[in-house]
Amino acid sequence: DTEVTQTPKHLVMGMTNKKSLKCEQHMGHRAMYWYKQKAKKPPELMFVYSYEKLSINESVPSRFSPECPNSSLLNLHLHALQPEDSALYLCASSRITGQDYPSSGANVLTFGAGSRLTVL
Amino acid sequence: AQKVTQAQTEISVVEKEDVTLDCVYETRDTTYYLFWYKQPPSGELVFLIRRNSFDEQNEISGRYSWNFQKSTSSFNFTITASQVVDSAVYFCALSEWMDSSYKLIFGSGTRLLVRP
């Protein structure tokens, strides 16, 4: 079983809907990430939270709104999405070592199984 | 800019064959990290290995082995005696210090199909 749990596994929404993706980990990791993966493409970084604070936003449109309510949870709020936003959304977590704060990009990431989003 | 190239889009082998997945990277930095991740059909990426730029020692883990050569900027991955369960997409990734943080960049991935 994966140690990073994502819900829901599948989500279909209209362009006017508001929905949220959830991610949970209990490994004590203090960095959490959202990645977007289109079909047959590599994952693309969207956001990084370090110590529950947003440390990296890769110029993601405001219709995606991340939230990290505590060290174990990460949400991605979705509003007014477009069909081209349909993709697999992957959550990941990692330790933070002093040398690579705030991104933790040098650390090993533990990924969840993803939430497959379809926007109609 | 940093870049990771996985020139093999898809590879198909018969079970028990050996297979090598190529990874070539570009970086301006002397300190960086290289990774391999496996993505089975279930979706989650599974960590396989991390190497820092100062550790050129090759590594073997069971049927998996990695050949890191800084002279050719390559970090190739070999599966010996492949099995059907090895079928997945494999991503090579580079983490380099940029803009005051480490950024992880994935290659385009190689889809491996192991046929029984």
pLDDT, one tens digit per residue, over B40-90 is 998 899 999 999 888 888 888 999 999 999 999 999 999 999 999 999 999
Write out the two tokens for A71.
């060290």
Average pLDDT over residues B17-43: 93
Residues of B in contact with A91 (CB under 8 A): none
Distance CA B74, CA B77 (A): 10
What's the pLDDT score for residue A22? 98
Question: Averaged over A61-73, what is the pLDDT?
Answer: 96
A86 touches chain B (CB under 8 A): no
B95 vs A: CB within 8 A: yes
Q: A114 and B44: CB-CB below 8 Å? A: yes
Provide the β-strand partners of residue A47: A34, A57
- Listed in sequence order, the residues at least 6 apart from A59 whose beta carbon sits closer than 8 Å to its beta carbon are none
Chain B interface, best mutation among A35, A107, A117, by max B CB count within 10 A: A107
Q: How confident is the model at residue A55 (pLDDT cuts 50, 70, 90)?
A: confident
Given pLDDT bands bounded at 50, 70 and 90, which one contains residue B1? low
